[in-house]
Amino acid sequence: MKKRLEPEQLPPVLLGNTRYEAPLWGKGRGLTQNGGHVVAINNTTGEELWVVALYEIQYDPDMEEDKQDLFLTSLKVDVAGSRLLAEDERGRKYALDLFTRKVSVL
């Protein structure tokens, strides 16, 4: 049986006074899934500003959940400084508008 490798924690992205992070273990924070979230944090105070899911995992109840978790592998700000660009383990790409918090699949 193949074992899943532990996902890599991505380094935070800083834009102005806001730090953007991609937490690995969302369920431990009360979120609906592990992976796929972006958290905005005030870099001075440490206050969490918001959390957005870039995608939704549809867990199959007949399969082990940890095998269905899907994590982000990259997170960066676009050249205009208005969107976060992310990629998941399956190579799918997403853009998160930092003003509207709308997610687009690229």
State which fold the 13-105 domain adopts: Lipocalin (2.40.128)
- Closest Cα to residue 88, out of 101, 69, 102? 69
Cβ atoms of 98 and 19 closer than 8 Å? no
**pLDDT of amino acid 65:** 87
Chain segment 54-65, per-residue pLDDT in tens: 999 999 999 988
The pTM score is: 0.91
**pLDDT of amino acid 76:** 98
Q: Quickly state the pLDDT bin for 82 (edges 50, 70, 90).
A: very high
- Closest Cα to residue 27, out of 15, 18, 19, 36? 36
Chain segment 23-79, per-residue pLDDT in tens: 999 999 999 999 999 999 999 999 999 999 999 999 999 998 888 999 999 999 999
Pairing relationship of beta strands 83-88 and 48-53 according to DSSP bridges: unpaired
Pairing relationship of beta strands 37-42 and 48-53 according to DSSP bridges: antiparallel
- Domain residues of the chain, as ranges? 13-105
